[in-house]
Amino acid sequence: MAGQTVAQKIIARALGRDAVEVGEYVTVSADHTVCQELFWPGHLRNLQRIGVERIPRPDKAVMVIDHSTSAAMGSHHYQTHRTLRDWCEEQGIENFFGPGSGLRHLVMVERGLARPGMLVFSDEGNIASIGAVGALNIPISTEVIVSLIEDRNWLAVPPSARITLTGSLPFGVTARDLIQTMIRDFGATDRLLGTCVEFCGPAIAGLFMDDRQTILASLFHAGAYTGVMPVDDTARHYVEARAAGRPFQVTEADPDAAYVLEAHYDLSAIVPMVTRPPELHGGVPVAEVSGRRIDQATIGSCAGNRLEDMRAAAAVLRGRRVARHVTLYVTPGSREVYSAAAREGLLEVISDAGGTVLAPGCTTCWGYQGQLNNNEVLISTQQFNYQGRNGSRSAEVFLAGPYAVAAAAVAGEITDPRPLLPQPVREAA
C-alpha cells in the first residue's frame, strides 16, 4: 500500500488501523459530532419516530445555536432554541452552546474541541475550517443523526490533493482574496471534487490562524470535500492554549503519499478580488467592478468573521463614515472574537463610523438579518451570492474580503481598498 495522506491517517486512527485505502468504505466512530439548530426540528421528529430515548455518547455531541442568534417575534426559532436546550439537558450533553456563542466552526477550535488528529462529523462542509488545527471534518449533512444514535457512521476514504503556498500576501490583500482566486480557478471544474486538500509550503508560516480558517471555510466552494493545514508552531501554540491538557496527535502525510492533483499559488501575485453574482467562481480583480453602487455591506460568516476581519474593517473605517445611502452590518464570529474586538476598541470604531455590530453567529450570511429589497446591491464577506440568498431574487450579492467590503461601505460603491489603508496593515503571524 502506498504512503498515507493526512486524511487517510486520521481515518485509520479512528478505525484502530495502521492504514486505509482511498475509496474504501469504512464505518467509524468520530471524536465529535457537531450540529446546529436549523435542522433540529427535523432531527427531533426523526428521533421521536425511531423511538430513541438516549444517545450512547453524549460527551461526543456538540450542539450549537448559531444561525438564529435571537428568537425574534414572528419566528419559530424561540421554540427550536427551547427544545434543543431541553433535549441536551435530558441527554446530559455538556457541549451545548446557546444563542450568541458563535458559529460552531469557531466554537470547535476556540473551546479546544477540535484538536490535531481528530475526526469530526458535521452537518456542513464549511466546518473544514477546523483543519487549521489539524482536525479533519467529514460533512455528512442530515446524517449526523445517525452518528448521534449509533456513535458511528460510514464514509468513503477521500482522495487527497496538495496545494503549495509560497510568497506572502501583498499590502491590502487578505486570505479571502486567495481563496476567492482558488474558487475562480477550480469552482467550475471537477478537479478538486470530493478531495481532501492538504496545504503546504513556506507561505503558511506567515498566515494567521484566522487566515487559515478563512481559506478552509470556503474550500468547499472550490469543489473540495474537506481540507487541512499543517500543524506548525503557530497552530500548536494555539491548540495548547485551548486544549486544557486534553490529548492530541499531530498528523503528517508520508513522503510517498499519493495525490490526485497538485497545484501552486504564489501569494505575492494575489490581488484584491470581488466575486460577481450569481456564480461563486465569478471572481475578478476589484478594478473590473469598481464604481458599482451598493446599498448594503456586511462583514461576517464563517468566511469573514474572525478577529483579523474585525481589525481589517476597523483599519478602513477608523476616522471615516459609512456613506449615507449604505447600511453596514458587522458580525463577530464568536463571543471570544466579540470580546477581543471590544477590548481592542474595534467595535467602537465600527459603531462610530455608522456600522451596526450584531450578535455573534451566522446572521446576515443566510439572510436572517440584513435582507435586501428588490434590485438592491450587497457586498459581503459571506459565503454565497446566488439569487435570493438575502431576500429578493432581483437583488445582487458581490463577495469580497473585509478590506474591500469596508471600503465600499465608505465610498458607497465598490472600490479598491488599498488607497484607504494605513501602512503597514499586517504583522508576522
- Domain CATH for 341: 3.30.499.10
pLDDT of res. 104:
95
pLDDT of res. 425:
53
Domain for residue 364, yes or no?
Answer: yes
pLDDT of res. 205:
97
Same-domain pairing of 347 and 227: no
For 228-283, how does the pLDDT look when each residue is reduced to its tens digit (9 = 90+)? 999 999 999 999 999 999 999 999 999 999 999 999 999 999 999 999 999 999 99
Same-domain pairing of 232 and 377: no
Q: Is the dihedral of CA 192, 230, 213, 169 positive or negative?
A: negative
**What single letter denotes the amino acid at residue 279?**
E
Indicate the residue among 218, 249, 266 that finishes a domain. Answer: 266
Residue 370 exposed, middle or buried by CB count within 10 Å (0-12, 13-18, 19+): buried
Domain for residue 78, yes or no?
Answer: yes
Q: Please tell me the total count of domains within the chain.
A: 2
Strands 25-28 and 153-156: antiparallel
Indicate the residue among 233, 266, 299 that finishes a domain. Answer: 266
Same-domain pairing of 138 and 255: yes
**pTM for this structure?**
0.95
Same-domain pairing of 141 and 33: yes
Same-domain pairing of 239 and 319: no
| Whole-number Å distance between alpha carbons of 33 and 59 | 10
Q: Of 165, 243, 154, 160, which is closest to residue 199 (Cα–Cα)?
A: 165
Indicate the residue among 249, 266, 283 that finishes a domain. Answer: 266
Domain for residue 158, yes or no?
Answer: yes
Domain for residue 425, yes or no?
Answer: no
Same-domain pairing of 247 and 278: no
Q: What is the mean pLDDT of each run of 10 residues along the chain (429 residues)?
A: 93 97 97 94 93 96 92 82 96 96 96 98 95 97 93 97 98 97 96 97 98 97 97 98 96 97 98 96 97 98 95 98 98 97 98 97 88 96 92 95 98 98 65
Same-domain pairing of 326 and 413: yes
* Contacts with 17 (C-beta within 8 Å, 6 or more apart), sequence order: none
How far is CA 156 from each of CA 1, 216, 218, 426, rounded to the nearest angstrom? 17, 20, 22, 40
pLDDT of res. 76:
85
Q: Which domain holds residue 328?
A: 274-420
pLDDT of res. 303:
93
Domain for residue 355, yes or no?
Answer: yes
pLDDT of res. 428:
45
Question: How does DSSP assign 200-266, residue by residue?
Answer: ESGGGGGS-HHHHHHHHHHGGGGT-SEEE----HHHHHHHHHHHTT---------TTB--SEEEEEE
| Whole-number Å distance between alpha carbons of 361 and 321 | 25
Cell numbers linked to 328: 453596514
pLDDT of res. 8:
98
Beta-bridge mates of residue 263:
163
* E-assigned strand segments in 65-195: 96-97, 119-122, 136-139, 153-156, 160-166
